[in-house]
């Protein structure tokens, strides 16, 4: 009968996961639609912007982590060197606002500027989701062309 050796990596993953969840619980409660993005973003603080490691540690699909990661990379929040989030721990209310904007980047609501102006990043609204679908429908699919005649 062989003796099983404990898996220290599994214990480490579990401890990291618990700490990530503890941190996210302070900002984004269960049931909040931003929670998956928050879990991915905080996990990247511990594990780096590594899709496979985040997915494995957090039990989130690689596809979901990739979607958030692609948006975060496009806006420079995830880099080859690690993460470059706005200052989430700045004095209230700025820290919470910074966190909210970074979460919105992960969720595809905003993109972040490449450079800071007056010590702060700029954020630009992205046309995604329902608003983008409505704009696409506007081109004759839902609203008739005013030049057309109805006989």
pLDDT of amino acid 128: 57
Q: Is there a domain that residue 105 lies in?
A: yes
User: Of how many residues is the chain composed?
Assistant: 151
| CA–CA dist 100, 46 (Å, integer) | 19
Q: Is there a domain that residue 1 lies in?
A: no
Q: Is there a domain that residue 34 lies in?
A: yes
pLDDT of amino acid 4: 53
Contact call for residues 85 and 41 (beta carbons, < 8 A): yes
Domain total for the chain? 1
Q: Is there a domain that residue 143 lies in?
A: no
pTM value is 0.76
pLDDT of amino acid 145: 42
pLDDT, tens digit (0-9, with 9 covering 90-100), for 44-87: 999 999 999 999 999 999 999 999 999 999 999 999 999 999 88
How many Cα atoms within 13 Å fall on the side-chain side of residue 70?
Answer: 6
| CA–CA dist 104, 150 (Å, integer) | 44
Owner of token pair 């919470």: 96
Tens-binned pLDDT, residue by residue, of the chain (151 aa): 445 555 455 677 789 999 999 999 999 999 999 999 999 999 999 999 999 999 999 999 999 999 999 999 999 999 999 999 988 988 989 889 999 999 999 999 999 998 888 888 888 998 754 455 444 444 444 444 444 444 4
Domain that holds residue 79: 8-138
Q: Is there a domain that residue 27 lies in?
A: yes
Contact call for residues 45 and 53 (beta carbons, < 8 A): no
pLDDT of amino acid 151: 44
pLDDT of amino acid 117: 86
């Amino acid at each position: 009968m062989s003796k099983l050796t404990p898996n220290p990596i599994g214990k480490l993953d579990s401890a990291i996961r618990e700490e990530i969840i503890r941190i996210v619980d302070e900002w984004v409660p269960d049931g909040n639609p931003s929670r998956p993005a928050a879990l991915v973003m905080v996990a990247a603080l511990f594990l780096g912007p590594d899709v496979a490691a985040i997915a494995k540690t957090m039990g989130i699909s690689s596809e979901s982590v990739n979607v958030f990661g692609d948006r975060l990379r496009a806006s420079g929040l995830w880099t080859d060197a690690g993460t470059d989030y706005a200052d989430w721990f700045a004095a209230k209310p700025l820290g919470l606002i910074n966190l909210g904007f970074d979460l919105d980047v992960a969720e595809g609501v905003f993109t972040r500027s490449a450079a800071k102006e007056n010590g702060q990043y700029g954020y630009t609204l992205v046309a995604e989701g329902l608003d983008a679908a409505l704009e696409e429908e506007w081109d004759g699919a839902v609203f008739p062309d005013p030049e057309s005649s109805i006989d």
